[in-house]
Chains A and B, each alone.
Chain A
């Protein structure tokens, strides 16, 4: 089975889950609807059925050897081992999750400084580390001051600094 077929099947599966699991569970029908008004699940159901059909067509085209490739050319030609690519993506996702969790503990500013630093390190930048460190420290502070002083935004201070 080609990646094009798998992509189509994956998309069809997603819309199938929406039709048979999410809409019945998370789109409650009201007890009364005025006149010929349509129920709230009508539109999501129409979209999901269209998505399901398109997904199956995409899978069918893949099986028939037609359809566009499931990966962009530059990704398909990248010779970096898959494990390395997944590890980098995993680290980035971990950095995002850590940022969201840390905001409540150390506050928005400190968490943003850490995330910026992590972002620069994860890009593989080693030549301009001093610039990167300066940027990760100074820019968040400048933005924080701009938003709090000029625009009056209140960022979460975090438990440690509250």
Chain B
């Protein structure tokens, strides 16, 4: 393994790759710092450009954007109390009060150091966990894969939005849309037009669903975030302060890795969990929410700690755990690579290059964060009324360029409207996208399992692994239902 890692290091350490990763990190930090722009948007907007790149640099660009935007989300959270990404919501709780006290720079620096530490841990865990998991995955068959994907889908449906039922419905819409086009035996399903015989491409569906609804919301409701960016002020994190939060940093990173590796959980839940855990165990717990630097460290180490870990199920099993890794799965497919256990047999060199690139990107994140800090207050002031049409333009050109097809552009615009409709009906879009991406694989594994068992559905519960996944699915459903019943009772009590 060491030899392969050294060979990969030589292959990755080129000026071109450094520039690509630096651009990705820097672009991600800037995009994440703009209120209303998310990491998902950063990664989806870059997807069309990766079409023209080699496989490894293209994935490294997306990973760099992901990491950069996850840190960048903390910038607007600290400076204007508007988290750039959902995973930075906890950062705002202590980061903004610190900024009000004239310590915005200190909060930003702590967020940066915590992000880098979390990110480093995450990458190390990816390197050591992905390959063994892939080897294990080689021993499982279609029924186990089917149950694993249903588990991933149920988890995403449970944690996205306000209702498991709406999450499951969203997944049904995504699965149904994925059936359009040619099936595995050559039948054309829902081929309303000639263009639809090939099915819908991943890129226009996901970009339409995640990038365009923000523009449509802005046009229809016209309520852009209005907040004044705070000055940086005191920006030094002392050695004593850093040592004081070291335990929280490591715990946050560990939480991020564990929750990031479970499909469907991801950085946001990790940040909330880590923040709550730090608040309970810290001697300064009563200061959390009032400008406690440890709160920033807890949140940021966990959300960046989850970034690399979300790649574990993607690379080892071919199962994306969240929307961003779903986009990356699309990028892998565009490049002709299929994530999953076979990737470790057929493209091991590329996998190691990816690992090395991800480790290097942790270092780049530190430099990009430092160099960008002075312009953060300007970035956070860019009006969304000018920014959103720019996003639309990037989507149009990018999507047309991928397939040279106006049909893809029509799909993009239509899915933007669908995404807006789902927002209006409070139906989460993440399960839709994950279901759309996993749909063909779920169907193929189900059909293979049923074909080998001569149509007996009990094949889906025929091995200990399938029982484990069935139990996990029931556990997720029960846990989510319990949480929702609790919320409903609380709403009733508040109404009375």
Contacts and interface: CB of A to CB of B under 8 A. Distances in A.
A93 B212 CA distance: 12
Contacts of B383: 125, 128
A69 B410 CA distance: 31
A139 to B, nearest CB: 6
A147 B401 contact: yes
Contacts of A9: none
A44 B189 contact: yes
B216 interface: yes
Interface residues of B, number: 63
A157 interface: no
B175 interface: yes
A123 B163 contact: no
Interface in B150-201: 162-163, 165-166, 168-169, 172-173, 175-176, 179, 183, 185-192
Contact of A38 (B218, B384, B451): B451
Contact of A51 (B173, B220, B394): B173
A124 interface: yes
Instruction: Indicate the member of A69, A74, A153 with the most B CB atoms within 10 Å.
Output: A153
Interface stretch (B59-67, B371-379, B419-427): B419-427
A51 B393 contact: no
Chain A binding surface SS class: helix
B221 interface: yes
Contact of A43 (B179, B223, B455): B179
B187 A27 contact: yes
A92 B425 contact: no
Nearest to A73: B426
B175 A151 contact: no
Given A54-B169, A78-B223, A153-B401, A40 B187 contact: yes
Bin chain A's interface residue count.
35 or more
A70 B388 CA distance: 26
Contact of A61 (B165, B190, B396): B165
B454 interface: yes
Contacts of A67: 163, 165
B425 A7 contact: yes
Interface of B: 52, 162-163, 165-166, 168-169, 172-173, 175-176, 179, 183, 185-192, 215-216, 218-223, 383-386, 388-390, 392-394, 396-397, 400-401, 404, 406, 409-410, 413, 417, 420, 423-426, 443, 446-447, 450-451, 454-455, 484, 488
